[in-house]
Amino acid sequence: MYIVYLIFKYDFKNVLFLKNLYLFRIIMLNLRCYYRYYCIILLIIFLVLCFNVYLVLFFSRDETSIKIAPTVKYNATYLAAQNILKSLRILDKDFELPIKTSQSSILREINILLSNLKLKINGDIDLYSSTINVINENGLMPLYGSPYLGSTINLLKTSKIIKTCYSIKGTQLKLLLTFENKQEVLFKPKWYLESEVIHGNVYAGKDRYNGEILAFYISLILGFPRVPIVVKRILDSTELQETATIGLKKTMYINSTTKETCIYGKCYYCKREDPICTKSLRLEGAAIFYLPSFINLKQYLHPWRRSYKENQRTRWETDNNFCDYIKTNYDLERILDFIDIAMFDFIIGNGDRHLYEVMERFNNSILLIDNGKSFGNPYEDNIDILAPLYQCCLIRQKTWDRLKTLKGGKFTEILQNMLDVHETISLITLPHYYALERRMKIIYASVVMCQKKSNESIFK
C-alpha cells in the first residue's frame, strides 16, 4: 500500500492509475473470499503496479530527451493575412462613407467614361482602327475612355463572322473568330452558370467567361485601362457550322441525344470527353478584342507566381523579405505595376497571374490579359494575391486616390451602371457584389497597416 501511495502522489492526474487503484481496492476487499488464489492475485497486483510505474516514468521523463519535430514556420502570407484582418477590424469608419460626384474630379472623369460607353457614332468610320489608334504607354485607352468605345463594343457584339477556328494557345478551349473586315476576336465559351461557386484552390476550374467581361469594366473603373475590350457574344449553331474551318469541324459533332452542337477543339486539356455544347442551339461566351501585332506583345514570368504544385511553396510565400530581392531585380515603376496588378487581381479573385505581358512598342507598358480565373468563389478572399502590396508596402499615390474615391459602395454602383449599358442579362450575382466591396475594404486595411509600420511614406 505504501508503494501505491507513492505512485499516486507522484502522478495523481493519471486517469489510468486511478482506475487501477480502484481495482486494487476491490481486490483487497474480496481477498478473504479468494484467499486460496492469493498467488494469482499477488501476481496481478504486481503486474498492475509495474504498469503504473511505467506510465509514471514515461509521462514524467525529461522532455529534452524526446525528439521534437522542427517547429512549423508559419509562412509569410499567413502572418500577413492575420495582420491585415486585424487592421480591417479597426478600419476607420470613413472608408464606408461615399463621396459625392461633385466633390471628386475622379468621379467626374468616370462619368465621362460612362457617357463614352453609351455614345453611338454614326457614319463611315473604321471603329477598330480608331480604337487601336488611342493605345499608348498609359494603356489601351485614356482613363475617361474614348468616343469610339461604346460603338466598338456594339460592333464586337454584332459583326458578321466569316471564319471560326480553334486557338491552340493556352490550356483551355478557345475559338478565334474573324469578322468581315478581317478583325480577329478571341472567343472564350461559357462553361458555368454565373451563380456557380468554384471550390478548390484559387486557380481551380475552367475559365469564367463573365470574369473576362467584368475584368474589362473593373479595370476602367480602377484606372487601369490595360484589359482589351471584352463583350458578351452569342453564337448560334448554324453560324458555327457554316464558318468553321476544316480543322475545327474535325473536333465538332452533334450530340445524338440533345441534338446540340459540341466542340472540343485543340488545346493542352482539350478532349472529346469534355466538350462545350450549345444550349438551345446557342453558344454564349466572351469575345475579346485581338490586339494588333505591331504593339509587339512580350511575355515574362511574374515574380509572385505560384508553384502550381501541392505542398510546394514559392519563395514569396515563405520569405517576409521577398520584396528586398525584388528591388534588386526590378525598378520602382515596375514594382508599382506589380502592386497595381495585385490589387486588381485580388478584387476580381484572380490568383492565376503566372505571366504578365508588356507592349514593347509602348515603353514596355504592362497589360492585363487572361482574366478568366476570376469570379470563382465570392465567399473566399485570397489575401495572398495582395503579396506585392503588403510585402513591399508601396502604392502609387494616384492609385490610392482613386481607390479611396470608390469607397462606400460607389465601386459596385458604377460597375452596375456600366453593365446596364450593353449587357441585358446580369453577368454578376449579389454575393459577388458583396465580395467586391469587401475586398476593397481589405485593400484599404492593407494600406493602412503598411502606413503604420513604415517609417517613411509608402505613396509614390
> What are 387-436's pLDDT values in tens digits?
999 999 999 999 999 999 999 999 999 999 999 999 877 899 999 999 99
Same domain membership, residue 351 and residue 316: yes
Domain count, the chain: 2
CB neighbour list of residue 313: distance below 8 Å, 6 or more residues apart: 75, 307
Given 11, 352, 381, 384, which residue is catalytic?
A: 352
Closest by CA to 368, choosing from 155, 269, 220, 267, is 220
> pLDDT tens digits, residue range 264-317?
998 888 999 999 999 999 999 999 999 999 999 999 999 999 999 888 889 999
Give binding residues for ATP as ranges: 172, 188, 288-291, 357, 370
Q: Is residue 72 part of a domain?
A: no
More confidently predicted of 38 and 322: 322
Q: Is residue 191 part of a domain?
A: yes
Query: Residue 40: pLDDT band by 50, 70, 90 thresholds?
Result: low
Query: Residue 38: pLDDT band by 50, 70, 90 thresholds?
Result: low
Same domain membership, residue 341 and residue 295: yes
pLDDT of residue 28: 55
Copy the grid coordinates of residue 23. Answer: 481495482
> pLDDT tens digits, residue range 191-249?
999 999 999 999 999 999 999 999 999 999 999 999 999 999 999 999 999 999 999 99
Query: Residue 67: pLDDT band by 50, 70, 90 thresholds?
Result: very low
Q: Is residue 68 part of a domain?
A: no
HSE-up of 393 (CA within 13 Å, CB side)? 16
Give binding residues as ranges: 172, 188, 207, 288-291, 357, 370
pLDDT at 83 over 60: yes
Q: Is residue 460 part of a domain?
A: no
CA distance 439 to 374: 13
CA distance 254 to 252: 7
CA distance 381 to 78: 13
Same domain membership, residue 92 and residue 54: no
Q: Is residue 67 part of a domain?
A: no
Q: Which domain holds residue 58?
A: 2-62
pLDDT of residue 111: 96
Same domain membership, residue 39 and residue 106: no
Q: Is 288 helix (H, G, I), strand (E, B) or coil?
A: strand
Mean pLDDT of the chain: 87
Per-residue pLDDT averaged across 246-264, rounded?
Answer: 94
- The string over 172-202, giving b where at least 16 C-beta atoms fall within 10 Å of a residue's C-beta and e elsewhere, is bbbbbbbbeeebebbbbbbbbebeeebeeeb
Flag the least confident range among 5-9, 120-124, 167-171, 190-194: 5-9
Same domain membership, residue 229 and residue 205: yes
Q: Which residue has the cell 495585385?
A: 342
Residue 305 per-residue DSSP state: -
Same domain membership, residue 353 and residue 262: yes
pTM: 0.83
pLDDT at 11 over 90: no
Query: Under a CB-based contact definition with an 8 Å cutoff, are residues 149 and 117 in contact?
Result: yes
CA distance 78 to 383: 9
What percent of the chain shows pLDDT beyond 70?
84
Which contacts qualify for 34-38: CB closer than 8 Å, 24 or more apart?
none
Same domain membership, residue 329 and residue 202: yes
CB neighbour list of residue 212: distance below 8 Å, 6 or more residues apart: 188, 230, 286, 288, 371, 372, 374
94 catalytic per annotation: no
Give binding residues for Mn(2+) as ranges: 207, 370
pLDDT of residue 54: 59
Q: Is residue 459 part of a domain?
A: no
Same domain membership, residue 159 and residue 17: no
Give the bridge partners for 279, in sequence order: 282
Per-residue pLDDT averaged across 73-100, rounded?
Answer: 87
Copy the grid coordinates of residue 338. Answer: 506589380
**Exposed/middle/buried for 56, CB within 10 Å: 0-12, 13-18, 19+?**
middle
